[in-house]
Amino acid sequence: MTDLLHNQRALSTLRNLSQGGRLPHALLLEGPEGSGKKTLGRLFAQYALCQGEEKPCGICGACCKVEKGVHPDVILYQPAQGRKEFTIDLVRQLRQDAYIAPNEGFCKVYLLDKAHTMNTAAQNALLKLIEEPPADARFVLLCENRSMMLPTILSRVTSISLELPTVEECVQALEKLAPQASETQRQAAAAGAGGNVGRALGLLDSAKPSKAASDARQLQEALLFGSRYQALKVLAGYDRDREGLISCLVLLKEGLAGLASGRFGAGSPIEERILNRVTVGQALYAADAVDKAIVRAGQNVGVSLLCACMTEEIKGFLGG
Ligand SMILES: [Zn+2]
């Protein structure tokens, strides 16, 4: 389950709605993949179904069942496996089901995953349902981009936006979730995953960071002492692995920035041959060029192009 700690605003909006007795019939949760939409959707279900005094109490039968994903009145609808679209047929099934009374709860809570993939006809079918909803049904639309929803739908829902954790927040989450990994590995994984905690855990699992670490060392060696060709040869391994490339570049940048601080005795000691090769200014300039490449990698610039530009910039500056 995605951590929601970084989404305090969304959490307090939901709490205020509940405390004011204004839990909406239709809620739209907008945010990128990995931002915690499903987790917040389940929390909404706890608010709606909790049998305790202070909702959600987290300990009553309903709260526990929602938490475990086994509450019969919390129902997930999503595009069928292998399909990219939330079809009108699915909306029709949902509509039929919504008029059947809840199994055991105060109401039924429908989570509609990837609602932004509905075409106009499907959205219009959904609109009819949320315009005059059955009294004991609630709908949570999970969507990556609200601009893909019809204005008529948006006017009928309460919207809450979710954000991805920052890379910093992702690193903090990984400290709890992956205590066995080193600080450097966690930072590389968090950066490589752009803050997406689930993906960062995947990166740590697949041991890519250790490959990235050894590649980052080779790359620094090639940039300082080798040829452009040697540097590009290391980078060529990442043609189809943008996340791995980012992990590697983050480590390279840390290494180069470390050369600057090490020179002042603040970081780890530096080999004599490296001290003789680069000045503090050169190391910082190179770290900056790597930083630019990391940003470009995050912006979907072609991997081979950005690797070539970065190598050329650094080599052109350092010479050799
Ligand atoms: Zn409860």
Q: Are residues 149 and 287 in the same domain?
A: no
Domain count, the chain: 2
pLDDT score of 177 = 83
Which of 92, 127, 161 finishes a domain?
A: 161
Which of 161, 181, 197 finishes a domain?
A: 161
Q: Are residues 86 and 221 in the same domain?
A: no
- Measured in angstroms, how far is the CA atom of residue 25 from the centroid of ligand 1? 19
Range of 152's domain? 8-161
- Measured in angstroms, how far is the CA atom of residue 5 from the centroid of ligand 1? 20
pLDDT score of 165 = 82
| 193 in a structural domain | no
| 244 in a structural domain | yes
| 166 in a structural domain | no
pLDDT score of 182 = 82
Which of 161, 189, 223 finishes a domain?
A: 161
Q: Are residues 138 and 77 in the same domain?
A: yes
- Measured in angstroms, how far is the CA atom of residue 158 from the centroid of ligand 1? 23
What is the spatial distance between Cα 223 and Cα 275, in angstroms, rounded to a whole number? 14
Mean pLDDT by 10 residues, the chain (320 residues): 73 92 95 87 96 93 94 95 92 96 96 96 96 94 94 96 87 86 82 80 69 89 93 92 86 84 64 85 91 84 91 88
- The CATH code of the domain that includes 140 is 3.40.50.300
* CB-count burial class (<10 Å; 0-12, 13-18, 19+) for 44: buried
Contacting residues for 272 by C-beta, under 8 A, at least 6 apart: none
- Measured in angstroms, how far is the CA atom of residue 260 from the centroid of ligand 1? 55
Q: What share of the chain is helix, strand, coil (3-state, %, to 5)?
A: 60, 10, 35
- Measured in angstroms, how far is the CA atom of residue 38 from the centroid of ligand 1? 18
| 260 in a structural domain | yes
- Measured in angstroms, how far is the CA atom of residue 240 from the centroid of ligand 1? 46
pLDDT score of 1 = 45
- Measured in angstroms, how far is the CA atom of residue 274 from the centroid of ligand 1? 61
| 192 in a structural domain | no
pTM (two decimals): 0.63
What is the spatial distance between Cα 31 and Cα 37, in angstroms, rounded to a whole number? 7
Nearest 5°: phi and psi at 83?
-100, 145
| 167 in a structural domain | no
Q: Are residues 154 and 212 in the same domain?
A: no
Question: How many Cα neighbours within 13 Å face the side chain of 231?
Answer: 25
- Measured in angstroms, how far is the CA atom of residue 141 from the centroid of ligand 1? 23
- Measured in angstroms, how far is the CA atom of residue 12 from the centroid of ligand 1? 18
pLDDT score of 269 = 67
- Measured in angstroms, how far is the CA atom of residue 54 from the centroid of ligand 1? 8
Buried b / exposed e over 240-274, threshold 16 CB at 10 Å, is ebbbbbbbbbbbbbbbbbbbbebbeeeeeebeeeb
Instruction: Strands of the chain (E only): list them.
Output: 26-30, 74-77, 108-112, 137-143, 158-161
- Measured in angstroms, how far is the CA atom of residue 7 from the centroid of ligand 1? 21
Q: Are residues 236 and 133 in the same domain?
A: no
- CB count within 10 Å of CB 16 equals 10
| 262 in a structural domain | yes
